[in-house]
Amino acid sequence: MLHVDPTKKRPKVLIVGGGLGGLSLGMLLQQTDIPYENFERASEPKALGSAIALSAASGALFKQCNIYDEVVAIGKKTLALQAIANEQRRVDYRMDFSAQEVLGAIGHVIARPALHDLLFRQIPKDQIHMGKKVLSTDDQGDKGVTVTFGDGTSTSGDILIGADGAYSAVRQSLFKRLKAQNKLPVADDVPLPYSTVCLVGQTQPLNPAEYPHLLQDDCQFINTLEENKPWAWITLTTQQGTMCWSIIRFVEESKTSTDDKNNNPSVGQEWGPEAAEAMCNEVHLFPVMSDNESSPGLWEI
């Protein structure tokens, strides 16, 4: 939603969501002196997630914000992606990314908690507000937009950015208002569908004697594609001596969060610890690549 008061030099931006997207936007606005505030529903930053692969094209963003060297320091270069066809740990093919240097930078894989911490430190403390769960948004026409939070407070601005995930409270509030006005597109008036379930995480620092590929300068980015089973999994080594992982289960047909609620009332729009633990129990013995034949490398989630 965009409302610009011509009497103001620059509009004030309200960013809902303190994840990688919301923090990156705040960092850019900080560079341009555009007034903004960031609101995150969590009471404190949490070290969640797995890893993120940043392409070489992202180098320009971090150079512009003067943190490129720090990004390089906490990440591992991505020079190739290795894909495995089955559980025998056999490399079927390799995608070489060495040509990316023509873009003026090299891609990196970074553990999400490490990148989140770096981005969080780019935002002045008085411009990021924790424990702010959005209850509603109010479009006030030429006067801007007001956001009301669960703690009873509210704030106003000119531009509202929803960087609060797939089930964005900002989007839901906007869609509710558009539907009441008969302006909501039919395609947006349905629950979000999904065809895969993805579980991600990061190990504790591992022993390089058991996993020697952790010592390699470039990220060991390995994608295992299971044959005749609805699973795929990725492992990525990090600069911090850990292994990040992502496990994907392909569902037989597209589902929605509404289907989940109908089949299991305890399942809401977001996974709880019970669902995550159940999936961990299904996959904890999946094989992973290891340079040490005496240590075959099984999941221990």
Residues 150 and 137 in one domain: yes
The answer to whether residues 29 and 140 belong to one domain is yes
Residue 131 has pLDDT above 90, yes or no: yes
Closest CA to 133 of 157, 161, 168: 168
- 25 is a domain residue: yes
SS3 call for 262: helix
pLDDT reading at 289 higher than 50: yes
Tally of domains within the chain? 2
Tell me, yes or no, whether 236 and 260 share the same domain.
yes
pLDDT confidence of residue 166? 84
Name the average pLDDT for the chain: 85
Identify the CATH number of the domain in which residue 213 sits: 3.30.9
d(CA 25, CA 65): 11
Predicted confidence band of residue 275 (pLDDT cuts 50, 70, 90) = confident
Cα distance from N-terminal residue to C-terminal residue, the chain: 42
- Is 122 among the domain residues? no
Q: What's the CA angle centered on 173, arms 168 and 179, to 5 degrees?
A: 120
Any idea what the CATH number is for the domain that residue 142 is in?
Answer: 3.50.50.60
Residue ending a domain, among 189, 208, 235, is 189
Q: Are residues 238 and 279 in the same domain?
A: yes
Shortest CA distance to 16 belongs to which of 114, 121, 139, 148? 148
Alpha-carbon span 163 to 171, nearest angstrom: 10
> What pLDDT sits at residue 266?
37
In this prediction, residue 217 carries a pLDDT of 92
For 14-23, 169-178, 219-228, which range has the lowest pLDDT when averaged over its residues? 219-228
Tokens of 142: 């030429």
Higher per-residue pLDDT: 4 or 242: 242
95 by DSSP, 3-state: which? strand
